[in-house]
Amino acid sequence: MEWFIEKYNGLALMIQIKKRLVKKESKFQKIEIYNTTDFGKMLVLDGKIQLTERDEAFYHEMLVHVPMFSHKNPKKILVIGGGDGASVREVIKHNPDEIFLVEIDRDVIELSKKYLKVDKGALDDKRTKIIIEDGYNFLKETKEKFDVIIVDGTDPNRYSERIIKHEFYRICNKKCEIFATQSQSPFQQKDYFISMIKEIKKSFDFFKPYIGFVPSYPSGLWSYIIAKYVELDLEVLKKRFNERDVKTCYYKPELHVACFELPRWLEELSKSSYQLR
């Protein structure tokens, strides 16, 4: 049996693979899809695990439902990145009118639809508008405004680095009511997390990091940042959760509140990050 290995400094994760299904050099990155023994199908971009069937919902539900349930009536949504369609799948559970998916790499969408199917049809939903473009360019040019903007970005690379800078966040701030992004592992990718906190602090008056478990990501400890507004009233969240009748495997209203209680070291890391400007 072979093993896929992803290293990040002195820590590495190995996932046993049965078979490689896809290997393609797209215009932007190396795309691989594997069948694994324990994690179902797995998408890898430039050597970094993007999702596995077994735990992708842990990630996508926390990325999407925390901002979506923080909004009282989210009807027009922008997802940047996330060409696999799993974030759009979670957004659709809130019954929005329109979802814009802006993904730079058409091949990620096509190969995900063909091999992964984690979108569960969401990419073909009539409310989903797929735009193949750089997220920064799209947002700068568009006249649209959104209830919620969600950034489902990859690990930092020369394409994604434009969507982790304050110039980008400043435009997001103008064009949405609630903003959320993934922000890597504060344990194993501390510098990247600190840099995102600083950039977001420059652009939003209010923001708050939160965390969740994603075993197939570095260290298993993953972070997200919500900005502009967050709803933390448990009774309001429970009511919305029931009214929208959203089915989940990880998210629940109680966890929506609990995920903002960071371990002390991480709370201090976040604070010291945004105090340094």
Known catalytic residues are: 152
Q: Give the per-residue contact string, 26-65, with a second copy (x = CB under 8 A; - = no).
A: ----------xxxx---------------x--x-------
Determine what percent of the chain falls in helix, strand and coil, rounding each to the nearest 5: 35, 30, 35
- Our finding on whether 242 is near a second copy (CB under 8 A) is no
Taking the complex as a whole, how short is the minimal distance between the CB of residue 153 and a second copy, in angstroms?
21
- Interface size with a second copy, residues (CB under 8 A): 42
- Residue whose CB is less far from a second copy, 55 or 105: 55
Stretch that binds a second copy, among 27-35, 71-79, 142-150, 257-265 (CB under 8 A): 257-265
Sign of the alpha-carbon torsion through 145, 97, 65, 120: negative
CB 39 within 8 A of CB 33: no
> How many other CB atoms are found less than 10 A from the CB of residue 76?
17
Please report how close the Cβ of residue 206 comes to a second copy at its closest, in angstroms.
19
* Burial grade of 32 (CB within 10 A; 0-12, 13-18, 19 or more): buried
Burial class of 252 by CB neighbour count within 10 A (0 to 12, 13 to 18, 19+): middle
Task: Build a one-symbol-per-residue string for 178-217: x at contacts with a second copy by CB under 8 A, - elsewhere.
Answer: ---------xx----------------------xxx-x--
Structure-block tokens of residue 130:
């797929």
> Interface residues with a second copy (CB under 8 A)?
3, 5, 7, 9-16, 36-39, 55, 58, 187-188, 211-213, 215, 219-221, 248-252, 254-255, 257-259, 261-265, 267
